[in-house]
Structure 1
Amino acid sequence: MMVIECAGDGRERGRAHGQQARDLVRTALDRWREGTSTRSRRHLASTGLLAAVEAAVPDLAEEMRGIAEATAVPFAEILAYNFMDEQWWVHREHLELGCSVLGRAHPEGVFLAQNMDLPDFMDGSQIVLRIRPEAGPEALVLSSAGMIGLTGINAASVGVCVNTLGMLRHNSAGLPVAAAIRGALAHSSRDRAVDFLHRISHASGQHYAVADTRGFHGVECSAAAVVVSCPAGSPLLLHTNHPLANSDLDPDAERELERRGRITDSRVRLAFLETHPVCDRGAAERLLADRTAPLCVTPRQGRRTLTFGAVAFEFGTTPPAARFCLGLPDRQSWIEPGWHSPPHPVTGDRPPAGGE
């Protein structure tokens, strides 16, 4: 297991990431360059995406600068690598939808889990970031070496899982998905994390499932709209890769995804989740290993998607339980990195997470 310790301000966190994972970052970027076009990589760095990060979450722009410095990789390449979802729609590269999210709230507690499906060339770059910012809660984040994050949870019991919605309209001056995830995790309550997602402009069509000890709040975000897909207080949350509430569609992207069979695939996975209810985190982890739908995917003819990893969060303790699978969940073991701050030797309580 590779857990990267990232503490301090944005630049310090990025440097720590780059120093501890330098070889892995360089290898991941080599594979990414081989799997993507030079044109799209260069174009991403020239859009308004960086300006959006600097305006909304400037410490994350500094974090990416720190990664570039510590790895001696051009900043423009670190930017483009972090703008992964945006690369998918800017030039229709690897527009192969994936990721399945499921969660349930009941009197015994709340869990939220997901498979993170990504292009196969990213396999081998899996890491967990343990983020300890100067202000705000500690966070554990599934990521690829060189990226600021893919999905995660913080010590204040706020978890964020995501699904790309490639048929929704995009905005080249909006906030990229990776920065939106980390921006939401900087908040110490579910309501404030959701409010953040409502306030920002979004670069990519995306579903965000935000959970805490009380349950879920799901929103589908596009260039023009943030629409609630799972109201606060809902006992069940299921989502794959087609919008359930947001109608701000990009007709060209929708036609292409329909032609490729990606929307049908998404509907099949959602139907599978609906007909296989689970009541606890352990059952969710087992379901994410399923090859029937499949929820756990490997590259197939004409498709380069692979389940990069999985997460399972349980909101019954403070801080919450956070489990990660770095690879295919039917082959790799689940691990629990734990939190940095030790509990009080007498009470068992942990120090306050900070922030709000």
Structure 2
Amino acid sequence: MTVIECVGNGRARGRAHGEHAREMIHAALARWREGTSAHSREHLTANGLLATVEASVPDLAEEMRGIAEAAAVPLPEVLAYNFMDQQWWIHREHLELGCSVLGQVGEGGVFLAQNMDLPDFMTESQVVLHVSPGHGPDALVLSSAGMIGLTGVNDAGVGVCVNALGMLRHNEVGLPVATVIRGALAQVSRDRAVDFLRRVSHASGQHYAVADARGFHGVECSASKVRDSTLPGSRMVLHTNHPLSNDDIDLVAERELTDEGRIADSKVRMDFLTSHAVSARDGESAQRILADRSAPLCVTPRFGRRTQTFGAVVFEFVTTPPTARFCLGLPDREPWITPSWSEPRTVETR
């Protein structure tokens, strides 16, 4: 397991991340360069994404600067790496939908679970960030070395899981997904997290499942609309990669994803989650569902597709702070670990 302590203001958190994961960051960026085009990487830092981050969540811009400084890598590369979803949708690179979310008020309380599916070149860069800003809640965040976050939960009892919705319209000067996730995790309640999601601009189509001990609130965000997909306090949330409520559709992307079978694949996984949700009574049963390959929820590269399940999470809201379980890799192969919120941690690097 790799757990990185990120303590203090944005620049200090980033420096801690960059210093302790320097070798992993260099290896991750080398694989990313091989797997993506130079044109898209350069464009991501030449448009308005960074200015939006500076205006909306400036401490996260500082965190990315700190990562670049301490890891001794160019800031534009760290920025572009963190703007991953925008590289997918603006430049149509690795246009392969993935990620499955399942949450329920079960016998033992509320849980929220997710498989995070990403391009296979990101494998071996998995980390857990323990974010301690000092002026807000701590968070445990699944991430890739060099990235500020993919999905997570905070010690105030708010969890956030995500699904890319490539059919929805995008905005080249919106707020990138990683910064939206971390911005939501900086909030002290589910209602405030959803309010944050409603008031920021969004660079790409995304579903955010926000959970606490009371239940769930799911919202689908596009360039110009935020729509509820799961009503506040619902006892269940299920989502894959096609919109359930937001009609702000990018017709070109919809046609492309449909022709390539991505939407059909998303609906197969959604049907599987729907039929198996009744058996998901607690976090452990959710782990078994996430490890299933028949839908497939647990993804390995297939012919013409480079997506792989990067990791998985299960957050249980029985206590405050919640219990956070992470699998750093394929959930049918790799062990699940449960980092502590308060005990001293040993930082490891691979």
TM-score scaled to structure 1, two decimals?
A: 0.95
Distance in 1, matches of 2:161 and 2:108, equals 21
Q: Where does structure 2 lack aligned partners over 5 or more consecutive residues?
A: 345-350
Aligned twin of 1:100: 100
Deviation (angstroms), 1:39:
0.1
Match of 2:336 in 1: 334
> What's the counterpart of residue 89 of structure 1?
89
Query: Is 1:314 aligned to residue 329 of structure 2?
Result: no
Q: For residues 97-150 of structure 1, give each alpha carbon's deviation from its aligned partner in whole angstroms, at most 9, with x where no partner exists.
A: 000000001464100000000000000000000000021000000000000000
Q: Which residue of 2 aligns with 1:287?
A: 289
The letter for the 2-side match of 1:110 is V
SS at match of 1:267: helix
Where do residues 15-164 of structure 1 align in structure 2 (5 Å cutoff)? 15-106=15-106, 108-164=108-164
Corresponding position: 1:239 with 2:239: yes
CA distance in 2, matches of 1:124, 1:108: 33
- State the alpha-carbon separation in 1 of the partners of residues 137 and 77 from structure 2: 29
The equivalences for 1:191-230 within 5 A come to 191-230=191-230
Alignment partner, residue 348 of structure 2:
none
Deviation of residue 341 (structure 1)?
6.4
Q: Distance in 2 between matches of 1:274 and 1:193?
A: 26
Question: Identical aligned pairs, as a percentage?
Answer: 72
Q: Deviations over 1:60-105 (max 9, x none)?
A: 0000000000011110000000000000011100010000000001
Provide the secondary structure at the position in 2 that maps to 1:312.
Answer: strand
- C-alpha deviations, 1:297-342, integer Å up to 9, x for none? 0000000000000000000011110000000000000000110269
Classify the secondary structure of the residue corresponding to 1:275. Answer: helix
Tell me which residue corresponds to 2:347. Answer: none
Aligned partners of 2:268, 2:282: CA distance in 1, in Å?
22
The total of aligned residue pairs comes to 342
Q: Distance in 2 between matches of 1:292 and 1:73?
A: 40
| Cα contact 2:107–2:282 (8 A) shared by 1 | no
> Secondary structure in 2 aligned to 1:330?
coil
Distance 2:123 2:106 in 1: 35
Letter of the aligned partner of 2:274 in structure 1? E
Q: Deviations over 1:185-241 (max 9, x none)?
A: 001100000000000000000000000010000000000100000001211110000
CA distance in 2, matches of 1:260, 1:136: 43
Q: Is the 8 A contact 2:108 2:281 kept in 1?
A: no
CA offset digits 1:219-267 (Å, max 9, x no partner): 0000010000000121111000000000000000111111111000000
Q: Distance in 2 between matches of 1:144 and 1:236?
A: 28
Residue 49 of structure 2 aligns to which amino acid in structure 1?
L
Cα contact 2:106–2:282 (8 A) shared by 1: no
Q: How much has 1:54 moved relative to structure 2? A: 0.5
Q: 2-side partners of 1:340 and 1:41: how far apart?
A: 38
Q: Could you tell me how far 1:273 is from its partner in structure 2?
A: 0.5
Question: Within the alignment, does 1:299 sit opposite 2:313 as a pair?
Answer: no
| AA aligned opposite 2:299 | V
Q: Tell me what 1:354 maps to.
A: none
> C-alpha distance in 2, partners of 1:144/1:179?
14
Which secondary structure does the structure 2 equivalent of 1:203 belong to?
coil
**Alpha carbon RMSD of aligned pairs, Å?**
0.9
- The secondary structure found in structure 1 opposite 2:293 is coil
Q: Distance in 2 between matches of 1:334 and 1:96?
A: 26
What SS is found at the alignment partner of 2:52? Answer: helix
Q: Deviations over 1:21-51 (max 9, x none)?
A: 0000000000000000000000000111101
* 1:151-190 equivalences in 2 (<5 Å): 151-190=151-190
Structure 1 gaps of 5+ residues are 343-356
Match of 1:44, as an amino acid? L
- Secondary structure of 2:320's counterpart equals coil
Letter of the 2:164 counterpart = T
After TM superposition, the runs of 4+ consecutive aligned structure 1 residues lying more than 4 A away are none
Whether 2:2 is the aligned partner of 1:2: answer: yes
Taking the aligned partners of 2:102 and 2:208, their CA distance within structure 1 comes to 12
The one-letter code sitting in structure 1 at the alignment partner of 2:301 is P
- How far apart are 1:279 and its partner, in Å? 1.2
Looking at structure 2, the residues matched to 211 and 233 of structure 1 have their Cα atoms a distance apart, in angstroms, of: 9
Q: Contact between 2:108 and 2:282, CA under 8 Å: does it hold in 1?
A: no
